[in-house]
Amino acid sequence: MKKFTVLFFTLLAFIVSNSMALAQDNATKKRPAPIPRTHIVEDYLPILGKQARANGIRPPKPFFISAIYYHMEIPQTITNAVGYDFQSATPIPINSMTVRMENAKIVTNSGGLRAGFNLFPFMSIFGVYMHTEGYSEFTAVADGIAAMPNGYMLNQKIDFKADTGAVGVGFQYGMRIGRVVPFAVLNANYAWTTTNMTDQIIETLIAGARVGLRVPLPKNMGISAHIGTQYQYLPMGNERTGQYTVTLPPNTVVGISDPLTVTSRYRANAQNASPWAMNAGIAFSATEHFMMLLEFGFLSRFTTMLAVQANF
């Protein structure tokens, strides 16, 4: 019923701010002065970093770690929903029941960590762990069932928890024009999610592209803005199975005049509004070691992400 891993494609996009210190100086033919290393690790990571410094180009720091908060609201289309294996204090004369689900939406709040390293000045590899708490809202409608001659319509809100891991790779390139640095970023990642609402692991492949502009500020500070798009692919398909509990109003079931709490199994197909999404954000670097990011997603889903990153 739910597709939780969609929230991690935008989260992983914040690779856009990770290594924007990389830039080529095409504004002059004069060879820049070499940039000294700060510790011996930077002679080996990023690979080619030592050569970049010798050419007057400052590569990104070898490692990075981030703390992330992420909010998401995404509409869904749920079809072929069927409830079965009903369990209640008072037995009900129904073996299975087709349910129409309308106005479906998932709302999540997530927190977690992202860490990785810059293998090359233009390429990074990273991993992510996120814990999510949220809820699914929908209107459940059932009719045409003999044991429920009046049918029923209930506004449902089901809480859930999920844990997600992801690994990914990102490529970035910047070219200095005067003092500003236009840049482009490509990223791809694989994520897997376990949740208390489904029986299976939910797998997702996500790819995205972003373009932006970085402007240096005094005292090694900098600010950048970017916009981009991403695409999500679910190789496992959209079918969901699990278990949920609902309380039916009095007289919903023939012969039962009291409210009735029923637990049942379910299966359904859940489809997000669109596999495409747009993102826009802004990042501020207080030093080459510390960065803050605010990013929004729009069109097919609404997202807000706040992250702080340390580079070392």
pLDDT digit string (tens) for 257-308?
899 899 999 888 887 778 888 999 999 999 888 999 999 998 888 899 999 9
Instruction: Identify any residues that bridge with 205 across adjacent strands, giving them in sequence order.
Output: 190, 233
Query: Which tokens hold the place of 63?
Result: 């490692």
- 275 Cβ neighbours under 8 A, 6+ residues apart: 231, 232, 233, 300
**Residues comprising the chain, all counted:** 312
Per residue in 145-181, pLDDT tens? Answer: 888 888 888 888 889 999 999 999 999 998 888 889 9
The count of structural domains within the chain is 1
Two tokens, residue 96: 């299975």
The structure tokens 């990642």 sit at: 189
Q: What is the pLDDT of residues 92-115, one digit of tens each?
A: 888 888 888 889 998 999 999 999
pLDDT of residue 76: 86
Q: Tokens 């929004």 sit at which residue?
A: 296
Residue 202 lies in a domain: yes
Residue 243 lies in a domain: no
Q: For residues 106 and 34, what is the distance between their CA atoms, to the nearest angstrom?
A: 52
Task: Give domain status of residue 263, yes or no.
Answer: no
Burial 153-183 (b: 16+ CB within 10 A, else e): eeeeebebebbbebebbbbbebebeeeebeb
The answer to whether 176 and 215 have CB atoms below 8 angstroms apart is: no
Please report, rounded to a whole number, the percentage of residues in the chain having pLDDT higher than 70. 87
Rounded CA-CA distance 87/153 in Å is 20
**CB burial string 247-274: b at 16+ within 10 A, e below:** ebeebbbeebeeebebebbbebebebee
297 domain residue, yes or no: yes
Domain for residue 37, yes or no? yes
Dihedral sign, Cα of residue 20, residue 172, residue 25, residue 214: negative
Whole-angstrom Cα distance, residue 81 to residue 268? 4
In a domain, 264, yes or no: no
Among candidates 110, 124, 109, which has minimal Cα distance to 14?
124
The stretch 85-91 carries a mean pLDDT of: 90
Write down the mean pLDDT value for the chain: 84
Sign of CA dihedral 142, 147, 148, 154: negative
Q: Residue with structure tokens 């990914």? A: 168
Which CATH number fits the domain that encloses residue 302?
2.40.128
Domain span at residue 133 reads 7-75+103-137+159-234+273-311
279 found inside a domain: yes
Give the mean model confidence (pLDDT) for residues 125-133: 96
Look at residue 90 and tell me if it is in a domain: no
Predicted confidence at residue 23, as pLDDT, reads 40
Confidence of residue 130 (pLDDT cuts 50, 70, 90): very high
DSSP string, 32-70: PPPPPPSSGGGGTSSTTHHHHHHTT--PPPSEEEEEEEE
